[in-house]
Structure 1
Amino acid sequence: MKVLAFDCATGPTSVALWRDGTVAARADDARPQGQAESLVPLIGLVLQQAGLAPAGVDRIAVTLGPGSFTGVRIALAAARGLGLAVGRPVFGRSSLEVMAAGLPPAECPTLVAIDARRGEIYGQLFAPDGRPLSVLAAVALPEIGAAGLLPAGPLRVAGSGAALVAGASGRTDLDLAAVAAPDAAVLARLVAGAAAADADPAPEPIYLRAPDARLPAA
């Protein structure tokens, strides 16, 4: 199974090629902007490193968001276009699911939180085995507890919003994990093990709220 996966939903751009159970090639651009310029060249570089033409992959994987509106749109457009061009299925996963799957095993639940600005996070709670324990939602920082994202007892918090969660909750017992963005290699691994029926020829973005930017009034 050969899976080409890419992510630029939260800022940095990550591309990986998964082949027969291992990462065959990867490339990353840590810049928080410039995804439109970096994504396609990085895809080309990864394919070159792996010795594959685009039609040589079996599946294409992309993060659907939430995150940067621009980054999500760029990645989805690339996935749809490439899938159509080479006739390969496209699989989408949420940014938070990929981040949770990339963490080391833990015996406690994990809250993955992305800084959504405006005093909010994009958050979702996951069980130790990776099952979602809550819906993916945009939550105001003062309402995290009421939203059921801060269960009593040991809790790991990961993502760019982890420090915000710790500050808003006032809890000093949280285990803050150092993962700030989805990893394309983790995304590729998830999609390599997915059922064929999970493919979506036109995956939809996960935005959760309207964009910050507004068109000028007529």
Structure 2
Amino acid sequence: VVVKEERKRSPDLRFRDSDLVNMGIDINHKHDRKVRRTEPKSQDVYLRLLVKLYRFLARRTSSKFNSIVLKRLFMSRINRPPISLARITRFMKKPGREGRIAVVVGSVTDDQRIYEVPKLTVCALHVTEKARARILKAGGEIITFDQLALKAPTGKNTVLMQGRRNAREAVKHFGPAPGVPHSHTKPYVRSKGRKFERARGRRKSCGYKK
């Protein structure tokens, strides 16, 4: 009896085309989503009612004003900085802005540096007590955003304005590292004493004096 010996075949390490078809490709999904707010983080019911109103207006009107107001209603408090009465007055004094409504998606604060407040119509999320008193004393008017939606549903005869976002003290520390040429970035210093940020480059006895 002749016994046939079967040779053990070495496993084929090469892929066949059919194997490649069945394999998946690992896609990096970290860039898939758009990082922007589609609703406010705040759970304030009054703010959310305004969002509902301006979402409707932005959808149903072709006005850019409503979509900007809606976007600003979503923003964080840092990106909705307060605006002073002086800044509002300066903006409203520009030619062609007489009788228009100043619109601020944020707070309006008083400014003691201006002595006379002109007659203004202001629409804002919040107006401080002193600013409110001065606007009303000058014969002006303060309206809410739901009243503005009835008065100017497309933003006609309005001036949209906002405070300076970079006015925060924290922003002074952002930018090129302190000490780098042409950098005006404020360093983080634990103390303003004699020994801190006052050595090399700040005195003759330590290297050089700038």
Q: TM-score under structure 2 normalisation?
A: 0.29
Q: Which has the larger radius of gyration?
A: 2
More strand by share: 1
Question: Structure with the greater relative contact order (CA < 8 A, sep ≥ 6): 1 or 2?
Answer: 1
Q: TM-score under structure 1 normalisation?
A: 0.28
